[in-house]
Structure 1
């Protein structure tokens, strides 16, 4: 028998630091979970009227099963709507889940629905200012859904940007339950993402018409399933798999394949088995939400994010998910791991391939096997498959066809099917994960460098200061940005206006960079999960409305942004900075309309970016 691979020393050091930092908060969380745990079925001992309400609308046979109080009852929390291409396939999942539960001798009910907004639709418009806080609304809605206390396990149906983090945060409040996350897969490949990006830049320059732009966008986003670029939605799917909350290999199987319903059925079967193990006190086979999401699991998630060049949004979301489990992480942890985790994928915007190409080249199973082989993942974690992460170094396949089709797993190929998309640890695309912490007198920020060419990673230039992305776009249209500059877009933090993404700035800034100008972005807002080729110091903390130094920057101030050195410096003497008056712009227009009035409490109580920017967790 082969000896286990020793852990990478950095992985070990960072994990130990997180465990120590989280000692009190993790203990408090686990104590809450212990108080909530009950022996036997969760509906057992309920008042007759309460129980009758819970299953009044169920078929007679399901009522008989529930009345016997022996079989598990599964709660389904769904983010279905048919405006999001990624979530449209969920329309018929409850029917599939109920049938699979009955076949396993159990029952299932839709416990509740959670909102699911699309950043692709709201990008650059007022609705985007609800986007980040929709995560916390989803966490609250998940808690409401599961609060009836009649479920022995849960299935969470969600994919996109804020939806999965919100579902995780809410489900962790029911850490005594097993929870399986059920994906629906990416859409098939359409117009390549790099070609779509070129058309966007041409439109920004006035060289193609709106009709041509729309045709390109429709060719890229053309059917059911997740958008195929590697933004936050697909980073979510990667995280759920490397954290052991998905079934192995479930993340990137297309919705229309015959393998997809087999994976959904298997997820139900796992939820039933885990509920039975929890009810019987079978500790060896138990995998409750609190057991699965541990300090080691969170470290594995950071490593997965770095090894794939994943979404910068997870320097917020993963922090918030961890805090919901009592685990405290910060950007130092990301940066230290990033310096030691190799980049193993090239998926747009870090390359030209999409997630379907990644899946075909070997996918998550290949990635996990490679990272395990050099001690860059904790193997000894609990997952919904049981003990250990080694089960995730496999890929699912369909054995047989028609009514005789069965789901099976097999080892992933020894070599990548496409080394332009996916590589092993012996030949990475780069030695580091491409996520850097920037520090200086402006505060702390993160920058994603995996898609930024080395010659663009250091920009020292005068500041162009604006208080909205629309202001900067207008300057671009007027031709006033044809020079070297650092765009300072401030009052975009969670307390100011909900921390919208600023992805609409990418075509303009990319165009100027292509013209040979040195350009960069500094903001207390977010960039898209598809952060691209322009160096962007984002999530700057403290934000302008929270006393951040970014509020004191003036037009023409020299800013030094050095991704390699980890430096973000405003070249103004401290004494002069301290003497500068700060006058916040009138933000009232950004606090009213499109539902923003309802989120005043969220803005007032939002935590700092490095703490996850949540109004629920501080």
Structure 2
């Protein structure tokens, strides 16, 4: 193993020792005391299977055969989740092929950040992850399943599914992806139209036409944002069938991978000789692999929130310092939009995750000795799935099909992973520089302070930002308003940068996984609500965002800085259901711990 990866792994293991042992004791106790079908009363069993009379006899009498719970994020408002429409009925058939049964245990909400960006609904987005975790727990609480298939893809859905499922970690589980939509309008062309719209050089009709040409059918969006980063992580953690991440919907290969996942679930249950509980699969090495994969592929900054939350649900503690140390050592081997011009379909065609995993294992950056759902060696994920005749099989990936997209680990695009931790008198923040030109890594400019992203857009339209500027958007943290993404700011800030100005963003909120070329110091912690130092910044303060040195500093006299009173918080917003999430906001912990209310509330 690479020494830095080994050292971070050891650091996490040591830090997590008491909480991980508590977690392992929990899932062992749950396994031994699990209600299970043999222990359920007759009336309970009758209720459980009244909806599936075709499988009732097998479910009530053949307790040694697995009954698989399907937890689904299906809806037909999200392109990525619309593909799941017929999955349950297909999966029930495939379960019967191996003597098992399956039921839809429950549904989880799946909202689309692409729909809510810039609007009030976005303030529910991050806490939808906690809601999904709770919904997953409700679905699995009936005690009638010996394993589960988790059907979800997008931003908060996969983390939420795992956070809930890991509290049932004695059960074997497999994540079932649906795949990316075929390529439409290239992402760079879409971004160019957005910038033209921001400057008034095109109208709404042209913008809508471009957006529909980009997001044109079922499947995940084709840029490498949070949804597709989720799928990468499930591969390097060994929670998919190997190579399942980026196979398009509606193909024979996609169907056969889902069928293989159902068959595999039936083989790794507690009654067999290859028991693989989820809580044992998600260990410290798997969490490190997820972080390494994130850095090596230039993935979404949202996972600096999601991965710590997933880890905590399994009794593992990872912090931003771990990411920072890994980023200094792990090379960037992929360039996918917004870190390059290629989309995920081109990435898959060039070798995709099998190439990435093989290269990173070979160079010592990934732990291969994992308990995965497929076996005990992550090397199986270094082969790509193919259909030979009518049979699903896996073949080696010998070389990159396009070195503008994928490179070997010994000839990477960059020697590091492109994420930095910034620290200074403003607090602690994250910055992703893998898509930022090197000459823009340091920005020193006067602050313009806002408490709402709509105020930024108005100031841009009024010409008030036509200068070197550090845009500060505060009261966007989890406790203030649910930590929405501020992706609507990307086009106007990009326009200012294109005009030759030095521009940066500092915020205690989030940016989209699709964000790129503008330097953004995000997740600033402590957040403004409650007295975080970002609340001390005033218009005109000289701010230095320095990704080279890893600093985030207000260049203000120290005595004046400490004497300032924090800015007053705006009143809590209501409408669009935001008032219903007050409990979540009140309980949420800091960004570095995952910004979760339910984990904080549970004392995890």
Shorter chain as denominator, the TM-score bin is over 0.9
Per the TM alignment, residue 551 of structure 1 is displaced from its structure 2 partner at its CA by: 0.3
Aligned residue-pair number: 600
2:445 to 461, 483, 490: 461
Per the TM alignment, residue 103 of structure 1 is displaced from its structure 2 partner at its CA by: 0.8
Distance 2:73 2:348 in 1: 24
Q: Is the 8 A contact 1:41 1:72 kept in 2?
A: no
Alpha carbons of structure 1 residues 605 and 40: separation in structure 2 relative to 1, 3 Å: closer
Distance 1:342 1:68 in 2: 51
2:10 to 12, 16, 23: 16
Per the TM alignment, residue 410 of structure 1 is displaced from its structure 2 partner at its CA by: 1.0
Within 5 Å, give how 1:338-349 maps onto structure 2.
Answer: 338-349=327-338
**Per-residue CA distance 1:106-144 (angstroms, 9 max, x = gap):** 100000000000000000000000000000000000000
Within 5 Å, give how 1:457-606 maps onto structure 2.
Answer: 457-588=441-572, 590=573, 592-606=574-588
1:248 to 230, 239, 242: 242
Task: Give the aligned partner of residue 3 of structure 1.
Answer: none
Matched, 1:109 2:109: no
Q: Look up the SS of the partner of 1:43 in the other structure.
A: helix
Task: Give the aligned partner of residue 89 of structure 1.
Answer: 83
Q: Is the 8 A contact 2:544 2:552 kept in 1?
A: yes
Task: Give the aligned partner of residue 279 of structure 1.
Answer: 271
Task: Give the aligned partner of residue 98 of structure 1.
Answer: 92
**Per-residue CA distance 1:34-57 (angstroms, 9 max, x = gap):** 110038992112111111111112
Task: Give the aligned partner of residue 438 of structure 1.
Answer: 422
Distance 2:55 2:526 in 1: 57
Distance 1:141 1:395 in 2: 33
Per the TM alignment, residue 310 of structure 1 is displaced from its structure 2 partner at its CA by: 0.2
Task: Give the aligned partner of residue 364 of structure 2.
Answer: 375
Q: Is the 8 A contact 1:40 1:279 kept in 2?
A: no
Task: Give the aligned partner of residue 218 of structure 1.
Answer: 212
Task: Give the aligned partner of residue 597 of structure 2.
Answer: 615
Q: Is the 8 A contact 1:539 1:609 kept in 2?
A: yes
Per the TM alignment, residue 65 of structure 1 is displaced from its structure 2 partner at its CA by: 4.7
Q: Look up the SS of the partner of 1:180 in the other structure.
A: strand
Q: Look up the SS of the partner of 2:329 in the other structure.
A: coil
Distance 2:59 2:578 in 1: 45
Q: Is the 8 A contact 1:361 1:417 kept in 2?
A: yes
Within 5 Å, give how 1:105-144 maps onto structure 2.
Answer: 105-144=99-138
Distance 2:208 2:286 in 1: 41
Matched, 1:302 2:291: yes
Bigger mean CA deviation after superposition, 569-578 or 241-250? 569-578
Task: Give the aligned partner of residue 263 of structure 2.
Answer: 269
Task: Give the aligned partner of residue 157 of structure 1.
Answer: 151
**Per-residue CA distance 1:405-433 (angstroms, 9 max, x = gap):** 22111111x21001111111121110001
How does the TM-score come out when normalised to structure 2? 0.98
Task: Give the aligned partner of residue 239 of structure 1.
Answer: 233
Unaligned runs of 5+ in 1: 1-6
Distance 1:602 1:572 in 2: 35
Bigger mean CA deviation after superposition, 155-164 or 68-77? 68-77
Distance 1:317 1:303 in 2: 14
**Per-residue CA distance 1:528-582 (angstroms, 9 max, x = gap):** 0112100000000000002210001000000111111101111112221222122
Unaligned runs of 5+ in 2: none
Distance 2:245 2:348 in 1: 9
Bigger mean CA deviation after superposition, 576-585 or 349-358? 576-585
Matched, 1:330 2:314: no
Matched, 1:407 2:392: yes
Alpha carbons of structure 1 residues 508 and 290: separation in structure 2 relative to 1, 3 Å: same
Per the TM alignment, residue 583 of structure 1 is displaced from its structure 2 partner at its CA by: 3.5
Distance 1:463 1:148 in 2: 54
